[in-house]
Structure 1
């Protein structure tokens, strides 16, 4: 949340180890979301209503500029879940270091219709035009039907469950970390969660426990029926739109009134397969770079971009202009620190005629399956082209981020991949090294595709076509580390691709 000039990040943290368990609400603060100060834990198990765990939730700023946290408490060893609240002990403390949990907790207890062990992660509340607050809690019904349960309150203390679910979807499994917020159809500005209007759509994001990925739909909030209706073009479930097609889960947005923007933050899990590997490392899990989020003018998907404050870490810059990449050619980007860099590149091509045919048998496959079949080394027509990040000098290991353009009947289909399968020479069995991928909804009339990649040792966060498709990869090179890291632009398609512009910066370390 943003409160009195300070950004507050609360996150799930294990105080006693490197794997999941013993969860508290850790608390860090910042004035720019780049440099952070770590504070004492905000919430930890201490009462009968959260003795066995203090799980995820959200903050809401109440009238009178008073923040309140809604969170899930675990009350027994059977993981019975209830919804609690906490408030600052001292509003005059600029960092809000200490939080208290009033005696009237829990605020919400599951009734007999709810699965008490699948009932968690309350959203930021919004104020309806009728003067009642509303918030959602994620849950699961029989037959793997995921749902968001709506609760209403006049005073934020006494909550009543709505007669019908706010929204549900078949065969999606347990919904976690539900997020619901409005987006403007007129500009990229963010909106307060309570805003209702004609030039507004709403977004419902769910984290699916079965896949450990974040999905969303865009639709209409029916304020009379208190229900959410996805647009007809939306697909729900495993084949639906994702905020990020890589290591990215349990994300949450908030409204930043200081710059009129909606900010998305997400958790990047590890690519180690076994918990023992995390224990050996001594840590597990990071936060992704905060992103500004808005709706694309087409209304079909969201757009994300790293917050502008990140650019304060840019140091030495190198440029490349009007460079032609012929079939099989690599060009090294020199003069920066490739292990910690920010790279923006725009590719162009003179023709779409050489785009390869999209195989009809791929229609039911996920994008990552197509990327695994048609990887960065498989020669195509228009593509693959892009960046070889975290690369060793002789390409024994690298993480390619690239595009392939396909002909799909009378249209073109753009695939964006971040392929971790070649990221390390270490044993594949100990690492999760998939071919992450998503399709990019882009008009190719200008015959251009842009890519931005933030490279940070074990992380490659990439934004295709100005943020229309985003992929975050967690990778652990064995050779390409520190000063032995290289960065290349490449083209393995028969069609010549031109680098119109490439700007790359060495990135400084943030203060933590």
Structure 2
């Protein structure tokens, strides 16, 4: 466990029950099964605090949210369901909240689509996915909790009126459940069914699970989408990874950036398997080959298949879900960012959790990883623009980007440098460390050779607070290594906060001696996309000085090599329509 996390959590002791504290400490600061804080689950505030609420990210007017569920496109509308507590700002009383949008940016809310009401989900309606059938109608699969022992089964729901593009009402047929855990399955670790795909007339779904410390994606097949049978073997499993939550399995094209329907296969396709790790609260994914005859998935041998594997996001990002958008032939990724403050602070402010900006995902031309980029519709929120061109940054320089709302902005910058000669040597001992640990040693204030250089986001005027997002280039034995950091340690003078130095290495060609960075800054969240979306990091931060109009934005360089801001465009971001009720 990160020492910073332990220190922050110990400060919560006066306000947290001891059992809750111990549970959080054992799970990296984020609740796993969420069966905690019972006394707080139905405590709501009269007035929601606006400080740190986001301006253009997805969130309801108040209360707790977590996993994005069942995203889909239907009859001209995007639908997002998500886990929501309608009664308080901690996990509990969970329903499937429901919102719709025409552009993925402006959202209207509907009544909850799914909530506990039947014997097969009376103790909880947990995460799941949506599938569009060949006749064009959607079906939701979700996990139902059936008793106080947390026994988990899989159910389905269908629209009451499929001609309604808003899909206002959902029905849970009486022939539920569709999947029971057999005696060989851990019934309290059997959840989060995937979007279904079809091969040779049979539908398939995955369900996340574990057996002791082995993570498992169980495979089930069906001819009619109602009667499901467990395959003899899982699609995939990995020893030592623990519970696999929110699995996602989908094809990506070997050529071009267009997305594919989940059932597409063939020689021009690779497959991606993503799992959310309950033990670490990180996600990882692999790219590999799906053998349709054997119903087996084989990750590429060059990739790490475990805790140290590739991640969509090396920061605060969990329980993600993709879907295929047929209107624009793209695959879109949703992810949840939890709070990094205390439970007591969440209850005081009256809300917790956001969904991050939806991202388009596709296969990098190298085939080694995925690329991600915010959906283009986000750019409709851009308003006033300021620019920097060919701004030299000598060692120790920080230059303010003035004229925008620095607390609510979109920044896109290209840095260039004349040489790689001053890159610091990469310590061979770091090869065994997480990038986060390297960033902890080599932060933005530690002078270097080529870097650190980047942005100081959500900064106070005198830099008592700032969240740096920066690159640092190292020279390893056979190549250069690029580190991208989003370091929250200096983000706030407030107490009781988890402030980690999130980081990831960037697999990028430095032949042109340039690095690009795009950061979406929104009051308490900074989403950063390095090198065209090769490495992405999300930080949640809570400044107490650098808020609203007192927030500033700087470019900086703390390396001995002079860096040039070749181009920088920054925009103030307007507020979208965010979860106002749909007019009847």
Asked if Structure 1 and Structure 2 have the same fold, meaning a TM-score greater than 0.5 normalized by the shorter chain, the answer is: yes
Q: Alpha-carbon deviations, 1:333-384, whole Å to 9, x = none?
A: 0111100000000000110000000111111110000000000000010000
Counterpart of 1:307 in structure 2 is 375
Q: Does 1:159 align with 2:228?
A: yes
Query: Which structure's relative contact order is higher, taking Cα pairs within 8 Å and 6+ residues apart?
Result: 2
- The CA distance in 2 between the partners of 1:66 and 1:238, in whole Å, is 37
Counterpart of 1:19 in structure 2 is 90
Count of aligned pairs between the two proteins? 507
Q: Alpha-carbon deviations, 1:53-84, whole Å to 9, x = none?
A: 00000000011111000000000000000000
- The CA distance in 2 between the partners of 1:293 and 1:151, in whole Å, is 26
Q: Does 1:390 align with 2:458?
A: yes
Q: Does 1:502 align with 2:502?
A: no
Counterpart of 1:297 in structure 2 is 365
Please give the secondary structure, in 1, of the residue aligned with 2:193.
Answer: coil
Please point out which of 286, 294, 303 is paired with 2:354.
286
Counterpart of 1:418 in structure 2 is 486
Matches within 5 A, 1:421-432: 421-427=489-495, 430-432=496-498
Counterpart of 2:384 in structure 1 is 316
Please give the secondary structure, in 1, of the residue aligned with 2:163.
Answer: coil
Q: Does 1:491 align with 2:557?
A: yes
- The CA distance in 1 between the partners of 2:306 and 2:295, in whole Å, is 22
Q: Does 1:251 align with 2:320?
A: yes
Counterpart of 2:259 in structure 1 is 190
Offset of 1:233 from its aligned partner?
1.0
Offset of 1:112 from its aligned partner?
0.6
Offset of 1:214 from its aligned partner?
1.4
- The CA distance in 2 between the partners of 1:22 and 1:53, in whole Å, is 8
- The CA distance in 2 between the partners of 1:281 and 1:246, in whole Å, is 23
Counterpart of 2:138 in structure 1 is 67
Matches within 5 A, 1:295-444: 295-427=363-495, 430-444=496-510
Please give the secondary structure, in 2, of the residue aligned with 1:109.
Answer: coil
Counterpart of 2:512 in structure 1 is 446
Please give the secondary structure, in 2, of the residue aligned with 1:278.
Answer: helix
- Normalised by the length of structure 1, the TM-score is 0.99
- The CA distance in 1 between the partners of 2:430 and 2:178, in whole Å, is 48
- The CA distance in 1 between the partners of 2:351 and 2:492, in whole Å, is 20
Q: Alpha-carbon deviations, 1:407-465, whole Å to 9, x = none?
A: 011200000000001000112xx111000000000010110000000000001000000
Q: Does 1:173 align with 2:242?
A: yes
- The CA distance in 2 between the partners of 1:167 and 1:92, in whole Å, is 38
Offset of 1:241 from its aligned partner?
0.7
Offset of 1:237 from its aligned partner?
1.8
Q: Does 1:215 align with 2:284?
A: yes
Counterpart of 2:306 in structure 1 is 237
Structure 1 vs Structure 2 CA RMSD: 0.6
- The CA distance in 1 between the partners of 2:237 and 2:559, in whole Å, is 43
Counterpart of 2:217 in structure 1 is 148
Please point out which of 297, 315, 320 is paired with 1:228.
297
Q: Does 1:133 align with 2:199?
A: no
Q: Does 1:104 align with 2:175?
A: yes
Q: Does 1:89 align with 2:155?
A: no
Matches within 5 A, 1:3-18: 3-18=74-89
Please point out which of 89, 96, 100 is paired with 1:29.
100
- The CA distance in 2 between the partners of 1:319 and 1:284, in whole Å, is 34
- The CA distance in 2 between the partners of 1:81 and 1:92, in whole Å, is 32
Counterpart of 2:40 in structure 1 is none
Please give the secondary structure, in 1, of the residue aligned with 2:352.
Answer: coil
Please give the secondary structure, in 1, of the residue aligned with 2:505.
Answer: strand
Please give the secondary structure, in 2, of the residue aligned with 1:382.
Answer: coil
Please give the secondary structure, in 2, of the residue aligned with 1:483.
Answer: helix
Counterpart of 2:56 in structure 1 is none
* Gap regions ≥5 residues in structure 2: 1-71, 579-584
Q: Alpha-carbon deviations, 1:462-509, whole Å to 9, x = none?
A: 000000000011100000001101000000000000111000000000
Offset of 1:230 from its aligned partner?
0.3
Counterpart of 1:474 in structure 2 is 540
- The CA distance in 2 between the partners of 1:216 and 1:20, in whole Å, is 26
